[in-house]
Amino acid sequence: MSERLKAGPGKEATQVRAVTPTCPAPGKWTLAMIQATFGWLHAYSLSGVWRVLDRFELGLRSAQVQLFSPDPEYVLKQKRLERALRDAARHPQQVVAVFLDEFGYSRWPDPARDWGAEPRRATRAGNNQQWRTVGVLNALTGQVNYLDGYIVGRQQLITFYGQLDQAYPDAEGVYVIQDNWSIHTHPDVLTALADYPRLRPVWLPTYAPWLNPIEKLWRWLRQDVLKLHRWVTDWERVKQNVRDFLDQFQHGSDSLLRYVGLRGDGRLASVIRNA
């Protein structure tokens, strides 16, 4: 039964939903489609079908997205990333590895589920405003450093590199793991980066956010601070709440490392653990 479900709905399932004879097969199962596909389930009610599936430990589960990067040098860049993590793990007193990324948000809150007698509105009063932050996450300690501003362009990134260089004064080298956003590789930025020889850029494969755990920090921030927030009329309060959230991690955090996948059984966590 499990193998048949993996194959996806077929002719019998199509007839459950078909409007015309040329209706294509559905992309996912429903209980009614499963009932129609397996003859021995025809006599069951839909709740009975559910109980049968539960008995076989077949449940309704969220699908996983198949990750893909079009970068022809994906494997090579991934190996460079892993070498940087191993170097930092083997020489924690001399070498640092940080993940860098930018995060943008607005004054208006995003909708989300919340407890209450009736759905709460994500109030959107007045004109919306935008803000951006550039930050790094230490792969071994969970320390977060950041710089925020109305925009994050060449000058802000150059300023942040200087701030990052000062954050680790005793390190012999700091791997700065980052994506290929055009600002990161702009000639002005690369020229300025040469003034900080201890900062060593490590370029991620194109369109591979799963290799940049700081993306999950932004997700945590958005979920806990920005969704359904109540300060739409106080833009400075919104920005300060974002800074307060990030400041929690200024001295590192094991909880953050577990949340973003740098502790545990994930690939990057295994690279660090087995270094």
Q: What is the pLDDT of residues 168-192, one digit of tens each?
A: 999 999 999 999 999 999 999 999 9
Helix pair angle (214-221, 235-247), 10° resolution: 130
**What does pLDDT average to over the chain?**
94
The pLDDT assigned to 268 comes to 97
The pTM is what? 0.84
* CA dist., res. 60 & res. 4, Å (int): 15
Closest alpha carbon to 211 in 121, 100, 117, 95: 100
The pLDDT assigned to 17 comes to 79
Please tell me which residue, 79 or 126, carries the higher pLDDT value: 79
Q: Is 116 left (phi over 0), alpha (psi -120 to 50) or beta?
A: left
The pLDDT assigned to 18 comes to 78
Tens of pLDDT, residue by residue over 250-267, are 999 999 999 999 999 999
**The tokens of 14 are what?**
């199509």
Averaged pLDDT, 101-129: 91
**Position 146 confidence tier, pLDDT thresholds 50, 70, 90:** very high
Domain parsing of the chain, residue ranges: 2-55, 74-273
The pLDDT assigned to 67 comes to 81
Closest alpha carbon to 135 in 235, 249, 272: 249
* CA dist., res. 267 & res. 83, Å (int): 13
Is pLDDT above 90 for 66?
A: no
The class of domain 74-273 in CATH terms is alpha beta
The pLDDT assigned to 163 comes to 97
Is pLDDT above 90 for 107?
A: yes
Q: How many CA atoms lie within 13 A of 31 on its CB side?
A: 13
The pLDDT assigned to 31 comes to 94
Averaged pLDDT, 205-229: 96
Least confident of 4-18, 44-58, 213-227: 4-18
* CA dist., res. 142 & res. 39, Å (int): 54
The pLDDT assigned to 38 comes to 94
